[in-house]
Amino acid sequence: MILGLLLLAAVPFGIKLYRGRGGHEASQHKDSYSCPMHPTYVSDKPGSCPICGMNLVKTEKTPAAAPQTAEKTIKFYRNPITLR
């Protein structure tokens, strides 16, 4: 029981410490550069693409883009068996 109370008391302190350091947001504000023709090539400094030679373009990192897993809905459906 004493251990449980200590853990409950430590949670607010941990949250305050996490927010004080900038949390997860601080690590995501790094500049990155990518090739317009080869978006898979990413560099941390400006220059040219080693594949095609184009100038790298500064890209802003977005917070972990979630993959689109939303299910698609069928708007119209026609039964292929009916002959009309």
The Cα–Cα gap between 43 and 45 comes to: 6
- At 23 the pLDDT is 47
- At 50 the pLDDT is 92
Q: What is the pTM of this model?
A: 0.40
pLDDT in tens, 2-58: 877 766 777 776 666 666 665 455 455 678 999 999 989 999 999 999 999 999 999
